Structure 1
Amino acid sequence: MSKPISDKPIVKALVELCHLHGVEQVIISPGSRNAPLIISFSGCGKFECLSIVDERSAGYFALGLARETRKPVALVCTSGTAALNYAPAVAEAYYQQIPLVVITADRPKEWINQADGQAINQPGIFSNYIRYQCTLPLSGGHADDEWYMNRMLNEAFQKCTGATPGPIHINVPMREPLYGKTVYPPKTARKIDVISGDSLLSDEAVGTLITEIERYERVMVLTGAMHQNQQLAEALDLLAGKNVVVLTETLSNLENEKFIGNMDRVVSTITEDEQLMFSPDLLITLDVPVLSKMIKKILRNRAPQIHWHFSNQEEITDTYQALSRIIKGNAPQILKQVAEKMETREKRFRDTWEKRASFSNERHEQYFDKLAWCDLAMFKTLSECQFQPMQVHLGNSTPVRYAQLFDWPAGQTWYANRGTSGIDGCVSTAAGAAYTSQKPVLLIVGDLSFLYDSNGLWHKYLPPSFRILVVNNGGGGIFRFIPGPTDTDELEQYFEAKHDTRCEGIANTFGLNYSACHNNEEFKQAIDRFFEPSDKPAILEVFTPNVENGKLLKKYFKYLKNEL
């Protein structure tokens, strides 16, 4: 590095290895203890450095960037509670397998618990939700320090971007003075490479799977939230062509007429007496989160005889309490190996699912003939708009569930923070994706989720194409649908958190265009204008009835079953 950077050798080595291991973007939150990191990352000229004040928002913004670019993104903050604010995004990244490099400045060890400012026990604060953690040597001036640190950091980055990627935590204690600069003589840091292949199965291992799958007629692949994956789509197409039932959700980003889409719309019609005929003998799952509680309930009630789970993690994930085989390697390629060699199944199991899907589709369309204005009606109208291909982010609670019930214009890609399923960072994550996405980004979010993360708009990196549709039903609408809360006296105050807050002031504060609507006619008129190009991002606030939403959604699922 020929430019002036921090005079602390440990910082120089850390910055160089970030670059060598593929970090291109660094999200910096202001502080003093992290000054050497700020000086070096911004001064070396090898990174795009963005400044976001709120660390919680910065964490989710980085998550959105890393998920979109599929490259590691670094976070840099000062010491103390600033680091704790990264925790929600770190947990989400862990469960979504997204590579974040969390770099926290720290005080020297001897000053921890000595009533000094911004000094907390930082090592291990993310220990349950990271792939690797380390605290760098304080001095960095001895050859052994450099060697030790190089080994730790190379191992850290291998864990961050390996077969099962995820967040890592690098804690950097530093003594004052913090603002010194120097120019180092040219010397490239030592990067340790790991070579890995596609991890296909041997002919013998494939033969074992073929022997096992040939014993069963009713075979099902269950998919969840994932990136678009052409190799996987091709493998599943081959399996569906051999009468394997492939269930997808909107978040699966898989479009194919051979697959059973709109999973909840179909599964909700299956009565308890019918569960056996819809349950697989052999279930195949991937290492991705599945949204549908309905399918999880059926598969736990009627456990498959065999359950294959594709995962490169060390932990055993037994979601359906029937796991019999973990398969490590390249899931799309291995599924293709199996699909090419297996015999075509009898069509009865697939026919059962396809007939029920056709029935549920008919009932679904009929329900909207005279439906009053509500959340469900809004999503129906939105799904019928022929908007351009976009990256659509869904807030947790009701938006992500409503979206699963509808057919959408082709070409959309779908995302939601389903790793931990919290509401806390949906605006920031969508903003991070919007900053780097080649497609316009649309966030569909509930009022509580939007208000909770409105600081996600508090920076200068929002592109004019960014759109936010806020469904304001005056509180947490999901609590009027799920069993339990509606039967309590505490519903409105403590579960639903009923409110009269509006989003116009937030839009004005952060310089976004704003519009609102209160019924279906207003919504139809507003939505076309909402998607038109503009010089600013835009918020469309859609007001829906507070009490009726839950009632009408419950009626919808009863109608699908033909119970009304």
Structure 2
Amino acid sequence: MSKPISDKPIVKALVELCHLHGVEQVIISPGSRNAPLIISFNGCERFECLSIVDERSAAYFALGLAREKKKPVALVCTSGTAALNYAPAVAEAYYQKIPLVVITADRPKEWINQADGQAIDQPGIYNNFIRHQCTLPLSGGHSDDEWYMNRMLNEAFQKCNGTVPGPIHINVPMREPLYGKTVYPEKTARKIELLTGDSQLSEEAIALLTSEIERYERVMVITGAMYHQPELKNALELLAKKGVVVLTETLSNLESDNFTGNMDRIVSTITEDEHLFFSPDMLITLDVPVLSKMIKKILRKTQPKIHWHFSNHHNITDTYQALSRIIKGNAAQILQQVASKMDEREKRFRDTWNKRATLSAERHTQYFDKLAWCDLKLYNILSETNLPSRQIHLGNSTPVRYAQLFNWNEEHTWYANRGTSGIDGCVSTAAGAAFGSDKPVLLITGDLSFLYDSNGLWHKYLPESFRIIIVNNGGGGIFRFIHGPTDTEELEEFFETKHSHNCEGIARTFGLDYHSCKNADEVTEQLKTFFNPSNKPAVMEVFTPNVESGKLLKQYFKFLKNEI
């Protein structure tokens, strides 16, 4: 570092180790206590520094960017409540296993709880949602300080980029003055390397798994939200060809004629008397979140005889209350080995699922012949329109569920914040992904999710190709069809939070083109040009009826069951 940077040695060491451990982008929120960090990161040409004011939005932006780049992204903020605003995205990153380097400036320890400004007790604020945390020494002037800090930071970065990656918290207390600069002699920080590889099972272990899976005819794999993984897809293809039922969700990013997609569309048709016909004797799951409550309910009730769960976590995840074996290692490689050794089985179980999938697809198509304008009609139009290849982000709560019901262009890739399933960061996450992606990004979100995170547009890093479709049904549409809220007098004010706002002013404020539609014909017409190249990102706000949308979705599931 030949340019002037902060004269605080601890900051110099931190910045150098960020670089050595793969950080290339730093998202900075303004402040004074973090001035040494701002000066040093910005003064180092190895980093791309971005400025985002709202810390909550900044953290979700970093999450989307890190997920897209598959590299750690650093966050830098001042002391006090600024650090607390990172918490929702830190929790989401923890459950999605996304590497974030959360760097919070802090007051010296002796001034905490002394009625001093912007001073809170920061160590441990992300305690339950962090892979590693440390507080750096204040001075950094003694050789032991430098050695101790180097050890702490190397350990932190190894946890951030480890077998199970995730966010780390580095708390940096600093005394005034904060704006001093100096030029340091060239000296490379010491990186401690950690050599790891894919954990492989022994031949004996593979033989054990193969003999176990061959004891059962009715075997099912369920996949949830994940990146596109060609190696895993190949392994699951081989299992499916040998008679295993592979259930996928839109967010699985797994498309194949050998897999059973549109999970909720199919599962919703299974009556209670049919549960056993569609339930596996053996269940195989991966360490990813599954959206469908319907399949979880059936499997918890019918209880598979054996359940394998692939996970490199230390904790036990027993989602279906039937867990019998945890398998650590590379799931794709292990499943490929098992699939290649196992014999083909009778395909009666798979045929049962395939026949029901065909029937539900026919009923699904029939339902839209005379369907009135509603949320479901909108998603049908989107799925049938030849949308250009996109990375599509889905907001919580209704967009992810509606998307599950339709077939889409195989060129799309799908993402959503399903680690904790909150609505609070969908705009910012999509914006971060759009900034880092070579593929154009489309966000489909509800009105509440968009309004909640509208500060996700409050920066200068939105690419011109970024597009947002807002489904404005005047409130939280999910509460119109989940069991419970519709029967309460508090529905509109406290659950649905009914409103009459539109998003045009927000779009205009942040410099986005704005379009609105109020019916199917207008949507169809707008989609003809909405994705055309332009010099601005764009929003399409689609207004749908709230009461009717909930009723028609409930009728849809009854129609699939042939009950109406």
Counterpart CA distance in 1 for 2:147 and 2:313 is 29
Deviates more, 1:18-27 or 1:205-214: 205-214
Q: Which residue of 1 aligns with 2:50?
A: 50
For normalisation by structure 1, the TM-score amounts to: 1.00
Residue 234 of structure 1 deviates from its aligned partner by 0.5
User: Per the alignment, in what secondary structure is the counterpart of residue 149 of structure 1?
Assistant: helix
Q: Which residue of 1 aligns with 2:421?
A: 421
Counterpart CA distance in 2 for 1:187 and 1:143 is 14
Question: Is residue 299 of structure 1 aligned with residue 299 of structure 2?
Answer: yes
Residue 145 of structure 2 aligns with an amino acid whose one-letter code is D
Residue 474 of structure 2 aligns with an amino acid whose one-letter code is G
Residue 387 of structure 1 deviates from its aligned partner by 1.6
The equivalences for 1:348-387 within 5 A come to 348-387=348-387
The superposition leaves residues 424-480 of structure 1 with CA deviations (integer Å, 9 ceiling, x where unpaired) of 000000000001111110000000000000000000000000000000000000000
Counterpart CA distance in 2 for 1:150 and 1:313 is 26
Q: Which residue of 1 aligns with 2:5?
A: 5
Residue 448 of structure 1 aligns with an amino acid whose one-letter code is L
Checking the alignment, whether the CA contact within 8 Å between 1:4 and 1:44 is kept in structure 2 is: no
Q: Which residue of 2 aligns with 1:84?
A: 84
Counterpart CA distance in 2 for 1:212 and 1:299 is 20
Q: Which residue of 1 aligns with 2:108?
A: 108
Residue 125 of structure 1 deviates from its aligned partner by 0.1
The superposition leaves residues 2-29 of structure 1 with CA deviations (integer Å, 9 ceiling, x where unpaired) of 1111010100000000000000000000
Counterpart CA distance in 2 for 1:146 and 1:282 is 53
Residue 360 of structure 2 aligns with an amino acid whose one-letter code is S
Residue 188 of structure 2 aligns with an amino acid whose one-letter code is T
When the two chains are superposed, the root-mean-square deviation of aligned CA atoms in Å is: 0.5
Q: Which residue of 2 aligns with 1:547?
A: 547
Q: Which residue of 2 aligns with 1:506?
A: 506
The superposition leaves residues 333-366 of structure 1 with CA deviations (integer Å, 9 ceiling, x where unpaired) of 0110111001112111000000000000000000
Q: Which residue of 1 aligns with 2:392?
A: 392
The superposition leaves residues 81-138 of structure 1 with CA deviations (integer Å, 9 ceiling, x where unpaired) of 0000000000000000000000000000000000000000000000000000000011
Counterpart CA distance in 2 for 1:197 and 1:190 is 22
Q: Which residue of 2 aligns with 1:278?
A: 278
Q: Which residue of 1 aligns with 2:216?
A: 216
Deviates more, 1:207-216 or 1:438-447: 207-216
Residue 326 of structure 1 deviates from its aligned partner by 0.6
User: Per the alignment, in what secondary structure is the counterpart of residue 529 of structure 1?
Assistant: coil
Deviates more, 1:180-189 or 1:27-36: 180-189
User: Per the alignment, in what secondary structure is the counterpart of residue 297 of structure 1?
Assistant: helix
Residue 53 of structure 2 aligns with an amino acid whose one-letter code is V
Residue 410 of structure 1 deviates from its aligned partner by 2.0
Residue 199 of structure 1 deviates from its aligned partner by 1.1
Counterpart CA distance in 2 for 1:369 and 1:126 is 51
Residue 546 of structure 1 deviates from its aligned partner by 1.3
The equivalences for 1:515-526 within 5 A come to 515-526=515-526
User: Per the alignment, in what secondary structure is the counterpart of residue 221 of structure 2?
Assistant: strand
Counterpart CA distance in 2 for 1:183 and 1:334 is 52
Question: Is residue 127 of structure 1 aligned with residue 88 of structure 2?
Answer: no
Counterpart CA distance in 1 for 2:192 and 2:280 is 45
Residue 318 of structure 1 deviates from its aligned partner by 0.5
Q: Which residue of 1 aligns with 2:118?
A: 118
Question: Is residue 22 of structure 1 aligned with residue 22 of structure 2?
Answer: yes
Counterpart CA distance in 2 for 1:9 and 1:63 is 28
Residue 535 of structure 1 aligns with an amino acid whose one-letter code is N
Q: Which residue of 2 aligns with 1:152?
A: 152
Counterpart CA distance in 1 for 2:27 and 2:110 is 29
Residue 196 of structure 1 deviates from its aligned partner by 1.1
The superposition leaves residues 539-562 of structure 1 with CA deviations (integer Å, 9 ceiling, x where unpaired) of 000000011011000000000011
Counterpart CA distance in 2 for 1:49 and 1:543 is 38
Residue 124 of structure 1 aligns with an amino acid whose one-letter code is G
Q: Which residue of 1 aligns with 2:290?
A: 290
Q: Which residue of 2 aligns with 1:440?
A: 440
The superposition leaves residues 9-52 of structure 1 with CA deviations (integer Å, 9 ceiling, x where unpaired) of 10000000000000000000000000000000000111000000
User: Per the alignment, in what secondary structure is the counterpart of residue 177 of structure 1?
Assistant: coil
Counterpart CA distance in 2 for 1:229 and 1:361 is 26
Q: Which residue of 2 aligns with 1:312?
A: 312
User: Per the alignment, in what secondary structure is the counterpart of residue 530 of structure 2?
Assistant: helix
User: Per the alignment, in what secondary structure is the counterpart of residue 127 of structure 2?
Assistant: coil
User: Per the alignment, in what secondary structure is the counterpart of residue 138 of structure 2?
Assistant: coil
Q: Which residue of 2 aligns with 1:253?
A: 253
Counterpart CA distance in 2 for 1:424 and 1:236 is 34
Unaligned runs of 5+ in 1: none
Residue 362 of structure 2 aligns with an amino acid whose one-letter code is E
The superposition leaves residues 226-275 of structure 1 with CA deviations (integer Å, 9 ceiling, x where unpaired) of 00000001010011010100000000000100000010001110111111
Q: Which residue of 2 aligns with 1:330?
A: 330
Identity of aligned residues (%): 79
Counterpart CA distance in 2 for 1:191 and 1:231 is 31
Q: Which residue of 2 aligns with 1:472?
A: 472
Q: Which residue of 2 aligns with 1:68?
A: 68
Counterpart CA distance in 2 for 1:241 and 1:200 is 24
Question: Is residue 203 of structure 1 aligned with residue 203 of structure 2?
Answer: yes
Counterpart CA distance in 1 for 2:50 and 2:545 is 40
Residue 116 of structure 2 aligns with an amino acid whose one-letter code is D
Runs of 4 or more, structure 1, over 2 Å off, are none
